[in-house]
């Protein structure tokens, strides 16, 4: 290439014409080779089928399906199962596919090649397409139908397994919840049995029994007070009878001397002193008992005031009993008075009978008081027991609340699992009867009418374009390396010298023969290549080019 030279369209056309054989030769050779290669490639056919997802025929409001995975996710899992080596190897053996490859390759490579020839594409949200590429049109159609059938069968099997798995899982969870619920029921029943009388539900009954018991204790206390008052009155009456009997004995002939009587009148006898002291103790005892009854109504038996008042009442009772014992018994007095005495008068016999009645009454009163005190003690123990039950209600209430809360939670869990188990059972039955969501064949595979691959026209055009580009590039490279002067403008622009004369190109005979031979050789070569391409195309000659075939597949 000459420095500083510019090319006009005419010069470019001249360059192309000058290097026409350099451009045409690669174009013809590469285009012819491409045609031969594309003609030798094996025809591949593709068949496809369209499958739609049909929703379940029972409304979701009646039976809710337990299979909630998306169609894309389920297609991935189903596709992985169908494209497994076991399934594909069986299809290859059933349809006798890849006979040449099975003779030269291992089965794993053949299965991998078939896996690459299978395509699964999602057309829309609920429709997908399955296609297969092979050499024989009818075999390709049958294999595509088999793949569609496998997809539909595997979908039914997969949905049934999912429904059964969900059902079994819920069954195990329901059994576990049932076991825990039974254990909690047993704990609750055992707690109720052990605390039957102290439960919060028995609080009203316990309060009622406690109130009735306290009323009975109060009634018994009042009754004991009346009996003790009656006992004091009987004791006083008996002391009066003894005093009267003593006075009667003093007025009788065997009575003591007047001096003794006046002495007796001036100094009170022990009986009179006992009677006066008895009246004082009786009043104190009555007041103490009344105060004790009032305290017992307001305070508990363990209160210090109640205990102190009980001690005071007991001391006053002991003093009253001691004062009563200082008075001689009426029967002894009358017996002593009757010893060696004349027969008793009617008044004396009446007093003796009255004394006998009073002694009997005193004995009965002592028995009644003792029995009532025993009953009072028993009722106080009962009242203390019921009081303890009432006071323990808050603690029992907390324990019962905890047990009831746990039982309620387990019961709700069991009921929820039971409802889910029933729904899962219905869904499993739905899948078994094949009325759930299914795959439906919308467009079955058709017999391919023309090859899917290779696209010979496109490959030939690409080969011709590449040959032409290669020739043009080669010509441009040769022109870049050519530094010869071809026109006077080249000489003028490069050497900056004027042209004096032009010498035409003159070839001798030998040079002309060489040029002619070169043109004839190039023409014959192109003609032979064209004849070979045409003959191979007509006869269907397809040389085995295995590496290129694999690349095109």
pLDDT single digits (tens) 230-242: 888 888 887 777 6
| Residues 341, 370 within the same domain | yes
| Residues 484, 544 within the same domain | yes
What pLDDT, in 10s, does the model give residues 302-311? 777 778 788 8
| Residues 75, 166 within the same domain | yes
- With bands split at pLDDT 50, 70 and 90, how would you rate the model's confidence at 144? very high
- With bands split at pLDDT 50, 70 and 90, how would you rate the model's confidence at 140? very high
| Residues 234, 298 within the same domain | yes
- Residue 432 is predicted with a pLDDT of 62
Give per-residue burial for 487-522: e unless 16+ CB within 10 Å, then b: eeebbeeeeeeeeeeeeeeeeeeeeeeeeeeeeeeb
| Residues 213, 190 within the same domain | no
- Residue 333 is predicted with a pLDDT of 44
CB neighbours (10 Å) of residue 82? 20
Q: Is residue 462 part of a domain?
A: no
- With bands split at pLDDT 50, 70 and 90, how would you rate the model's confidence at 122? confident
Report how many domains make up the chain: 3
Q: Is residue 54 part of a domain?
A: yes
- Residue 88 is predicted with a pLDDT of 92
Q: What is the percent of the chain where pLDDT is above 90?
A: 8
| Residues 366, 490 within the same domain | no
| Residues 485, 441 within the same domain | no
pLDDT at residue 179 tops 60: yes
| Residues 31, 62 within the same domain | no
Q: Is residue 405 part of a domain?
A: yes
CATH number for the domain that contains residue 122: 3.30.70.1130
- Residue 114 is predicted with a pLDDT of 92
- With bands split at pLDDT 50, 70 and 90, how would you rate the model's confidence at 200? confident
What pLDDT, in 10s, does the model give residues 146-171? 999 998 888 878 777 777 777 888 88
DSSP state of 302: T
Q: Is residue 413 part of a domain?
A: yes
Q: Is residue 459 part of a domain?
A: no
| Residues 52, 89 within the same domain | yes
Which of 58, 71, 143 is closest to 439 using CA atoms? Answer: 71
What pLDDT, in 10s, does the model give residues 61-107? 555 555 556 667 778 888 888 899 999 999 999 999 988 888 899 99
CA dist 34 and 28 (Å) reads: 10
| Residues 223, 186 within the same domain | no
- Residue 273 is predicted with a pLDDT of 41
pLDDT at residue 331 tops 60: no
- Residue 338 is predicted with a pLDDT of 46
CA dist 74 and 55 (Å) reads: 14
Q: Is residue 76 part of a domain?
A: yes
Which of 375, 391, 407 is a domain's end point?
391
pLDDT at residue 515 tops 80: no
| Residues 247, 347 within the same domain | yes
| Residues 254, 235 within the same domain | yes
- Residue 268 is predicted with a pLDDT of 43
Q: What is the mean pLDDT of the chain?
A: 75
Q: Which domain holds residue 69?
A: 42-195+394-453
- Residue 142 is predicted with a pLDDT of 93
User: Which tokens is 1 given?
Assistant: 């290439």
């Amino acid at each position: 290439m000459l420095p500083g030279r510019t090319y006009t369209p005419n010069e470019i056309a001249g360059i192309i014409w000058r290097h026409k054989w350099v451009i045409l030769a690669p174009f013809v050779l590469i285009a012819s080779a491409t045609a031969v290669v594309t003609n030798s490639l094996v025809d591949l056919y593709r068949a496809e089928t369209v499958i739609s997802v049909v929703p379940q025929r029972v409304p979701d409001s009646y039976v809710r399906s337990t299979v909630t995975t998306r169609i894309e996710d389920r297609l991935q899992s189903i596709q992985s199962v169908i494209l497994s080596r076991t399934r594909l190897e069986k299809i290859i053996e059933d349809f006798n596919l890849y006979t040449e490859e099975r003779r030269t390759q291992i089965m794993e490579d053949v299965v991998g090649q078939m896996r690459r020839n299978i395509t699964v594409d999602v057309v829309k949200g609920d429709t997908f397409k399955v296609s297969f590429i092979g050499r024989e049109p009818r075999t390709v159609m049958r294999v595509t139908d088999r793949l569609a059938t496998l997809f539909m069968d595997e979908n039914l099997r997969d949905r049934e397994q999912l429904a059964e798995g969900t059902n079994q899982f819920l069954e195990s969870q329901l059994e576990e919840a049932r076991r825990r619920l039974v254990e909690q029921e047993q704990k609750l029943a055992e707690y109720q049995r052990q605390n039957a009388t102290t439960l919060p539900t028995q609080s009203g009954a316990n309060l009622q029994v406690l109130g009735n018991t306290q009323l009975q204790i109060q009634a018994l206390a009042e009754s004991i007070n009346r009996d003790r008052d009656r006992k004091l009155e009987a004791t006083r009456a008996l002391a009066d009878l003894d005093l009267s009997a003593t006075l009667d004995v003093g007025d009788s002939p065997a009575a003591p001397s007047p001096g003794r009587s006046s002495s007796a009148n001036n100094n009170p006898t022990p009986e009179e002193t006992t009677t006066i002291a008895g009246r004082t103790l009786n009043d104190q005892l009555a007041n103490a008992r009344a105060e004790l009854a009032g305290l017992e109504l307001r305070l508990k038996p363990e209160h210090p005031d109640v205990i102190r008042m009980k001690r005071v009442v007991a001391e006053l009772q002991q003093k009253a009993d001691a004062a009563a014992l200082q008075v001689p018994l009426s029967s002894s007095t009358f017996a002593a008075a009757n010893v060696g005495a004349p027969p008793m008068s009617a008044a004396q016999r009446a007093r003796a009978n009255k004394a006998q009645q009073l002694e009997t009454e005193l004995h009965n009163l002592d028995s009644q008081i003792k029995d009532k005190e025993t009953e009072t003690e028993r009722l106080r123990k009962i009242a203390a027991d019921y009081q303890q039950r009432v006071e323990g209600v808050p603690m029992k209430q907390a324990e019962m609340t905890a047990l009831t809360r746990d039982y309620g939670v387990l019961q709700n869990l069991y009921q929820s699992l039971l409802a889910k188990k029933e729904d899962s059972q219905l869904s499993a039955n739905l899948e078994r009867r094949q009325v759930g969501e299914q795959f439906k064949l919308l467009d079955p595979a058709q017999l391919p009418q023309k090859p899917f691959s290779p696209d010979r026209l496109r490959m030939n055009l690409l080969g011709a374009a590449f040959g032409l580009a290669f020739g043009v590039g080669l010509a441009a490279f040769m022109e870049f390396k050519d530094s010869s002067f071809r026109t006077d403008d080249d000489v003028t622009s490069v050497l900056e010298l004027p042209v004096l004369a032009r010498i035409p190109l003159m070839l001798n005979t030998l040079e002309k023969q060489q040029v002619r031979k070169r043109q004839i050789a190039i023409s014959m070569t192109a003609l032979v290549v064209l004849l070979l391409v045409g003959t191979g195309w007509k006869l269907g000659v397809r040389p085995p080019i295995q590496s290129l075939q694999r690349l095109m597949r």
